[in-house]
Amino acid sequence: METTKRNPRVSAAKPATEARGETYYPGPSAIDLAAFPPKERWDDWVELDSRAWPKRVERRYMLVPTTCFNCESACGLLAYVDKESLEIRKFEGNPEHPGSRGRLCAKGPATLNQVYDPHRILHPLKRSAGRGEGKWQRVSWDEALDDIAGRIRRAIQEDRRNEVVYHVGRPGEDGYTERVLAAWGLDGHNSHTNICSSNGRAGYHYWMGLDRPSPDYANADVIVLISAHLESGHYFNPHAQRIIEAKKRGAKIIVFDVRLSNTATHADYWVSPYPGTEPAILLAIARHLIHHRLYDREFVRRWWNWLEYMRVKHPDREPTFESFEHELARLYESYTFEFAAEESGIDAKTIAELADVVSRARTRLATHSWRSAAAGNLGGWQVSRTLFLLNALLGAIGTEGGTHPNVANKFVPRPIHVPAHPQVWNDLNWPAEYPLAMNEMSMLLPHLLKDGRGRLEVYFSRVYNPVWTNPDGFTWIEALTDETLVGLHVALTPTWSETAYFADYVLPMGLASERHDLHSYETHDAQWLGFRQPVLRAARERLGQPAPADTREINPGEVWEENEFWIELSWRIDPDGTMGIRRYFESKKSPGTKLAVDEYYGFLFENSIPGLPERAAKEGLKPLEYMRRYGSFEVKRKIAALHEEDVPASELDDVRVDALGRVYTKTAKPAGANIVPLPTPDPDAEGRRLVGIEIDGQILRGFPTPSGRLEFYSSTLDRWGWPEYALPTYIRSHIHPQRLEPGQMALVPTFRLPVQIHTRSANAKWLDEIAHTNPLWMHSQDAARLGVATGELVRVETEIGYFVIKAWVTEGIRPGVVACSHHMGRWKLDPHRHGQRQMMATVALTREGKRFALRRKAGVEPHDSADADTRRIWWTDAGVHQNVAFPVHPDPISGMHCWHQAVRVRRAEAGDSYGDVSVDVEKAHEVYRRWLEITRPAARVSPDGTRRPYWLLRPLKPSREAYRLPVAGASP
Ligand code: SF4
């Protein structure tokens, strides 16, 4: 049996919290970390000052929790606030945080670099010359707010609501800004999700009505990761630590990755298939389970919508389970190990071994797919659909060691105000060609604007950098510099970005220790809340000082937080309350006055979080004080299978059960419960709502799908124009070998680097020193064929242009495939101002007709600044901006950008320079049109005259009426 060694410096007595069944310190962590500062001493913690060595100089700290804002995981940070100077000296892990349990990845402590970054934006700026010319002047917050509010007010009053769009990269919070937009009556939410996870989500959503998995890694026997999860995947640090716990217990780890990632080096099986063929392997494993009757028959009988499938697709057959089993075997008969081997290039014997390992997991199979293969390929949403098929076959859903739906491990509290659903539909975000898109079609925005489908009066970009992050960045520049298309661009950002250069206002927003946010993520089998807060505000409160009027008083320069910014902006849009907006931003305690963040969070913590008021009271604290002191709260641990919950009798009234076992009732509560996934809210003809599923005489909660069950057969895909993909299947990718032209290779451009995170981490010097380049991974066989050695320049030609990059020759990638990380290639136009000088090269941006180009003028250099370390910069590289040379490839169903590229790689030409990029935006627009042609628009396929199936998730859902397709000839 595995034993845990304790830190010998601390007492071996069982800590009090452990005795109570809790896993945290005081003393050594009950997990396996050394001692943390006990929370009882967070007001006065003493450490020796390492810089004073060899003298022993004591420093006294107040330890204040917040959460990391460098990736989505929201790990708990503890800010070490110097009690003498009230400066933050370092960030470490918060052992009270149930998700991260005191651990951090490199990006967490590097928050310190971001806070003290000498190049960060500290004051509101307004452009003082043409958009994109790089000339800025300081303005007051009042001037910026009045201008922006006035434009939004006019757009709303003149019924131009769709001209206001908020475009977010990393939200870092749970729904606050969606509610702001709903309060304004707009369908103006736009996200980055269709360049990130729409495909991953779609595969899960069609199965269970929920778009994220929550694997219980720590208790799994077999873990299948279609990603580099241990180093950089979704919920990276909280997941990685639990995967390693399982590995220590003896769990088998299977990693699918075209590269030998750090994750793959920890796997029992590293599977490197040809990109896009992952579903062929997964279906071969599924066939093995079906063929040998290794699946959980009882689970499949109870929970799959097999009856619906048989009734709709095989009405001539007896709809028995045995008849379905017969059909199931027939459906997957062709997915042999040999077929999968032929497609993927993975040996049939290896696939057979994988199938055997998976089959032995039974209900302890934890699986995860998010970006990676799903994000790369046309039809990539079938990667997660076929992966989850394995869970669905083994009954490893909602089980210990299995995979849960995300709502089981997430808690979303009800806020103080809940505005109604907006009454409008924004076709710029949700164009009619993509009725089944998982998220907004944001990558198409500049093309839709160029096509004359609308204009924007006010466009907010927030923690988002589409010029650099998205494919086709030059088309973004084209649109953003055209004031007839974009009237006002407001960039809400803590740091300079390629997109902020093309803004009218750049407004400085707080970092992880300078703002309030609330979040809850599915990191493991529990529900928790994390509280991000301005740490100096909390520190001053502990010292008995009064709360500031707003966060600008305590943040550096005039840096603000978004919560307060949106409240203030909303008041200025509707100053007298006559537009019906202001009421959502007013105090409840003192109506007619502005809502303050203390009341907002205080209300929420007091009224919406079971157990928190009682827990706080035990320590003599109010709930808000408790959260300010500890930064997180665990609501519940070990969540059972939610779909198996009984529907209580109190919810059953005038019940009707249909032929598929769906139970409708007049008293069903609408969505809103925190731990129960309610089925679709579609009412029946008599106004009853679906409340659950009758199985073997019991009424159970089920899944929030149209059938209430796991949808092996998706009636939605069938009825909305895609019957051929209604079952889990394999779609050949746009970069499948049969689709490549002679001389082309597949480029995998999707992998992350463990210590960087898109735009946000460039202002962290420690991270930049570790990772500052993105060479092209190339197998030695390909390198020999091309006559290229490591470090030599190659030209990578895409459909619309090319980029010039260094080769890195390795055995750690599949032959015939090249790969490049998307975390690099940051650039700035001005060598000395407006940008990071440790991670952005200085470039010339030129345009001749429809051809745009970047050419590097200078790399990274040592320089003088307020931080002496900038004189010690030893690296010059900042990588190459590859994404800008890709056209958009929206999957016609999920809407996801299919990132992989068919490219030609050859030695660089004379005159080529490292970092050169050249792109023809006319060609980019042609590719956009080509992919548009393969869509099946709502007007053609909608079975009920609506724009989109109402049950599908949307981040900001409009009213039901807004879903109706406009009738031809009717006035809008
Ligand atoms: S995984 Fe790393 S970057 Fe992400 S929240 Fe945790 S510490 Fe921050």
Label residue 672 by pLDDT band (50, 70, 90): very low
CB contact at 8 A, 805 and 747 = no
- Residues 740 and 856: their CA atoms lie apart, in Å, by 31
What does the pLDDT look like over 59-110, one tens digit per residue?
999 999 999 999 989 999 999 999 999 999 999 999 999 999 999 999 999 9
250 SS3 class = coil
Residue 427 vs residue 649, higher pLDDT: 427
Phi, psi of 605 (to 5 degrees): -70, -30
- Residues 342 and 277: their CA atoms lie apart, in Å, by 10
**Alpha carbon nearest to ligand 1 atom 1, residue:** 237
CB contact at 8 A, 335 and 280 = yes
User: Is 80 exceeded by the pLDDT of residue 168?
Assistant: yes
In angstroms, what is the C-alpha Rg of the chain? 27
Q: Ligand 1, closest atom to CA 111?
A: 8
Residue 146 vs residue 24, higher pLDDT: 146
* Ligand 1 midpoint to CA 68 (Å): 6
Beta-carbon contacts of 361 under 8 Å, excluding residues fewer than 6 positions away, are 220, 221, 222, 394, 396, 401
User: Average pLDDT for residues 147-155, to the nearest whole number?
Assistant: 98
Instruction: Report cis status (omega within 30 of 0) of the bond before 109.
Output: no
Q: Ligand 1, closest atom to CA 237?
A: 1
Ligand 1 contact via 230 beta carbon (within 6 Å)? no
CB neighbour burial string for 147-176, b if at least 16 within 10 angstroms, e if fewer: bbbebbbebbeeebbbbbbbbbbbbbbbbb
Q: For a pLDDT cut of 70, what percent of the chain falls above it? A: 94
Cα atoms in the 13 Å half-sphere on the side-chain side of 471:
32
Closest to 94 measured CA to CA, from 531, 431, 414: 531
Q: What DSSP state is assigned to residue 794?
A: E
Ligand 1 contact via 70 beta carbon (within 6 Å)? yes
String of DSSP letters for 331-383: HTTT--HHHHHHHH---HHHHHHHHHHHHHHTT-EEEEESSHHHHHSTTTHHH
Closest to 298 measured CA to CA, from 395, 387, 208, 390: 395
CB contact at 8 A, 446 and 479 = yes
User: Is 60 exceeded by the pLDDT of residue 126?
Assistant: yes
User: Average pLDDT for residues 406-434, to the nearest whole number?
Assistant: 95
Question: What mean pLDDT is reported for the chain?
Answer: 93
- Residues 915 and 475: their CA atoms lie apart, in Å, by 19
- Residues 469 and 840: their CA atoms lie apart, in Å, by 14
- Residues 148 and 838: their CA atoms lie apart, in Å, by 33
Q: Ligand 1, closest atom to CA 236?
A: 1
What does the pLDDT look like over 865-908, one tens digit per residue?
999 999 999 999 999 999 999 999 999 999 999 999 999 999 99
Label residue 970 by pLDDT band (50, 70, 90): low
Q: Is 865 exposed, middle or buried (0-12, 13-18, 19+ CB in 10 A)?
A: middle
User: Is 50 exceeded by the pLDDT of residue 12?
Assistant: no
pLDDT at 680: 52
pLDDT at 653: 84
* Ligand 1 midpoint to CA 772 (Å): 19
User: Average pLDDT for residues 681-696, to the nearest whole number?
Assistant: 82
Token pair, residue 680, equals 């679709």
* Ligand 1 midpoint to CA 415 (Å): 26
* Ligand 1 midpoint to CA 639 (Å): 24
The neighbour count for residue 55, using CB atoms within 10 Å, is: 8
Ligand 1 contact via 273 beta carbon (within 6 Å)? no
* Ligand 1 midpoint to CA 93 (Å): 10
154 SS3 class = helix
Least confident of 1-5, 716-720, 893-897: 1-5
The neighbour count for residue 557, using CB atoms within 10 Å, is: 12
Residue 13 vs residue 189, higher pLDDT: 189
Characterize the bridge pairing of strands 456-462 and 486-493: parallel
User: Average pLDDT for residues 342-352, to the nearest whole number?
Assistant: 98
Token pair, residue 757, equals 């995170």
User: Is 70 exceeded by the pLDDT of residue 33?
Assistant: no
- Residues 304 and 657: their CA atoms lie apart, in Å, by 17
Answer positive or negative: Cα dihedral of 169, 173, 175, 179: negative
Strands of 615-709 (E only): list them: 632-637, 656-657, 662-665, 689-695, 698-700
Amino acid making up residue 562: E
pLDDT at 129: 96
CB contact at 8 A, 510 and 494 = yes
Q: Which residues pair with 842 in a beta bridge?
A: 828, 858
- Residues 190 and 489: their CA atoms lie apart, in Å, by 14
Label residue 834 by pLDDT band (50, 70, 90): confident
pLDDT at 171: 85
* Ligand 1 midpoint to CA 170 (Å): 13
Label residue 279 by pLDDT band (50, 70, 90): very high
- Residues 177 and 68: their CA atoms lie apart, in Å, by 19
String of DSSP letters for 296-313: -HHHHHHHB-HHHHHHHH
Q: What pTM did the predictor assign? A: 0.95
Token pair, residue 75, equals 């790990």
The neighbour count for residue 547, using CB atoms within 10 Å, is: 14
- Residues 370 and 521: their CA atoms lie apart, in Å, by 15
* Ligand 1 midpoint to CA 9 (Å): 29
User: Is 50 exceeded by the pLDDT of residue 134?
Assistant: yes
Degrees, nearest 5: CA angle 170-172-178 = 85
Label residue 523 by pLDDT band (50, 70, 90): very high
User: Is 50 exceeded by the pLDDT of residue 193?
Assistant: yes
147 SS3 class = helix
Question: Three-state SS string across 683-748, please?
Answer: ECCCCCEEEEEEECCEEECCCCCCCCCECCCCHHHHHCCCHHHCCCCCCCCCCCHHHCCCCCEEEE
Residue 810 vs residue 14, higher pLDDT: 810
Q: What DSSP state is assigned to residue 286?
A: H
* Ligand 1 midpoint to CA 716 (Å): 37
pLDDT at 674: 37
Ligand 1 contact via 237 beta carbon (within 6 Å)? yes
pLDDT at 951: 92
User: Is 80 exceeded by the pLDDT of residue 775?
Assistant: yes
Label residue 26 by pLDDT band (50, 70, 90): very low
- Residues 622 and 920: their CA atoms lie apart, in Å, by 60
Characterize the bridge pairing of strands 632-637 and 189-191: unpaired
Ligand 1 contact via 893 beta carbon (within 6 Å)? no
What does the pLDDT look like over 288-321, one tens digit per residue?
999 999 999 999 999 999 999 999 999 999 999 9
What does the pLDDT look like over 433-490, one tens digit per residue?
999 999 999 999 999 999 999 999 999 999 899 999 999 999 999 999 999 999 999 9
* Ligand 1 midpoint to CA 111 (Å): 10
pLDDT at 7: 35
Q: What DSSP state is assigned to residue 215?
A: E
Q: Is 429 exposed, middle or buried (0-12, 13-18, 19+ CB in 10 A)?
A: buried
What does the pLDDT look like over 577-603, one tens digit per residue?
999 999 999 999 999 999 999 999 999
Q: In what order do the strands lie in the sheet with 662-665?
A: 656-657, 662-665, 689-695, 698-700
* Ligand 1 midpoint to CA 480 (Å): 32
User: Average pLDDT for residues 238-262, to the nearest whole number?
Assistant: 96
pLDDT at 690: 85
Amino acid making up residue 191: S
Label residue 831 by pLDDT band (50, 70, 90): confident
**Alpha carbon nearest to ligand 1 atom 4, residue:** 71
CB contact at 8 A, 332 and 286 = yes
pLDDT at 362: 98
Ligand 1 contact via 104 beta carbon (within 6 Å)? yes
| Residue from 69, 72, 75, 756 to probe ligand 1 pocket by mutation (most atoms less than 8 Å from CB) | 75
Q: Ligand 1, closest atom to CA 104?
A: 7
Closest to 521 measured CA to CA, from 106, 98, 179, 199: 98
Cα atoms in the 13 Å half-sphere on the side-chain side of 166:
25
pLDDT at 671: 43
| Residue from 104, 463, 532 to probe ligand 1 pocket by mutation (most atoms less than 8 Å from CB) | 104
- Residues 830 and 843: their CA atoms lie apart, in Å, by 8
536 SS3 class = helix
User: Is 60 exceeded by the pLDDT of residue 13?
Assistant: no
Describe the chain by its helix, strand, coil percentages, rounded to 5. Answer: 30, 20, 50
- Residues 370 and 244: their CA atoms lie apart, in Å, by 19
- Residues 546 and 193: their CA atoms lie apart, in Å, by 40
**Alpha carbon nearest to ligand 1 atom 6, residue:** 75
Ligand 1 contact via 107 beta carbon (within 6 Å)? yes
CB contact at 8 A, 25 and 17 = yes
State in Å, rounded, how far the first CA of the chain is from the last one.
Answer: 69
CB contact at 8 A, 496 and 839 = no
pLDDT at 14: 42
Q: For a pLDDT cut of 90, what percent of the chain falls above it? A: 86
Ligand 1 contact via 829 beta carbon (within 6 Å)? no
Label residue 677 by pLDDT band (50, 70, 90): very low
Beta-carbon contacts of 602 under 8 Å, excluding residues fewer than 6 positions away, are 622, 623, 624
